[in-house]
Amino acid sequence: MLIIKLSTIDSTNAFLKQWVQQTKAHNAIAVRAGYQTHGTGRMGSKWHAEKDLNLLCSVYLGGISIDNDAIFEINKRVCLAILDTLTPHNVPSLQIKWPNDILSAEQKIGGVLVEPILRGKEVIAVVIGCGINVNQLDFPNLPCASSIRKATGKTHALEPLFETLAANIESAVRASNTDNSRYLDALFKLNQACGFEKLDGTSFSATIMGVADDGKLRLKHSDGTTENFEEKKLVFTAFAHCQ
């Protein structure tokens, strides 16, 4: 895997997509930046992080062949790769909050953005963006945010963390299948009733049953009926002020 390190960039995902388009020279590339001026999360949300304190990186992987309808499988594998990277550092109570957040003790410490590169309906490559709060301690106006340092009380070297994460992501994405049972074991509030809010402001409670193959959250209502929800059309009430 080619490793690229940058001081400041607008977005590591944007940089990688342009690099691949221009060079087409590598099948696996990982890039890390000390700071992003326009870091982007899922569905266009912004990712804010202090300079040189956090892991802001992207991984390009070519030579992939999956149907675009199955792209959420990549999301699952990347989330598990992040857990595999953080677990040896004794980060407590790691969980995956649907669709793309990494939590420690129910505080957000990371997020994932998977962008497919398509040929027709076939995914032939992916650019995977990861933001992980590592050594930052203050998160103004972000009451649900935390970091590895806040969770463990220790500072952590960014470079080895980045290299391990990039290797774990490549291994997970290129695996022959997804460890769905482990994903469900790590899923935030699985089989528990949670409060939710729709885009129109309607609030309701339902039990999380899992995640459908297309990435929608599977919920069971109190009357026994089930319903699947797309991302960004639903927020956890407990995290509504954190979006």
Identity at 160, one-letter amino acid code? P
Assess whether 165 and 197 both reside in one domain. Answer: no
Assess whether 229 and 148 both reside in one domain. Answer: no
Rg (CA), the chain: 18
Give helix 158-173 / helix 72-86 axis angle, nearest 10°: 140
Assess whether 209 and 145 both reside in one domain. Answer: no
Assess whether 182 and 198 both reside in one domain. Answer: no
Q: List phi, psi (to 5°) of 203.
A: -105, 145
Query: Which domain does 236 fall in, by range?
Result: 193-242
pLDDT the model gives residue 164: 98
CATH number of the CATH domain containing 112: 3.30.930.10
Overall number of domains in the chain:
2
Structure-block tokens of residue 35: 């700071």
Assess whether 161 and 205 both reside in one domain. Answer: no
Assess whether 211 and 118 both reside in one domain. Answer: no
pLDDT the model gives residue 23: 81
| DSSP string computed for 171-236 | HHHTSSS--HHHHHHHBTTBTSEEEEEETTS-EEEEEEEEE-TTSPEEEE-TTS-EEEE-TTSEEE
Nearest to 18 by CA among 117, 159, 120, 119: 117
Assess whether 128 and 201 both reside in one domain. Answer: no
Structure-block tokens of residue 56: 């802001």
* Region at 65 (left for phi over 0; alpha for psi -120 to 50; beta for the rest): beta
CATH number of the CATH domain containing 225: 2.30.30
Assess whether 105 and 220 both reside in one domain. Answer: no
Task: Enumerate residues 6+ apart whose C-beta is below 8 A from 78.
Answer: 112, 114, 128, 130, 169, 172, 173
Assess whether 182 and 225 both reside in one domain. Answer: no
- Domain's final residue, options 186, 201, 220: 186
pLDDT the model gives residue 44: 44
Task: Enumerate residues 6+ apart whose C-beta is below 8 A from 122.
Answer: 65, 66, 67, 68
* Tens-level pLDDT at each residue, the chain (243 residues): 999 999 998 889 999 999 888 887 789 999 999 988 865 544 444 556 788 999 999 999 999 999 988 999 999 999 999 999 999 999 999 999 999 999 999 999 999 999 999 999 899 999 999 999 999 999 988 889 999 999 999 999 999 999 999 999 999 999 999 999 999 999 999 999 999 999 888 999 999 999 999 999 999 999 999 999 998 889 999 887 675
Assess whether 164 and 52 both reside in one domain. Answer: yes
Assess whether 37 and 148 both reside in one domain. Answer: yes
Burial bucket for residue 225 (CB in 10 Å: 0-12, 13-18, 19+): exposed
pLDDT the model gives residue 42: 45
pLDDT the model gives residue 40: 54
Assess whether 132 and 74 both reside in one domain. Answer: yes
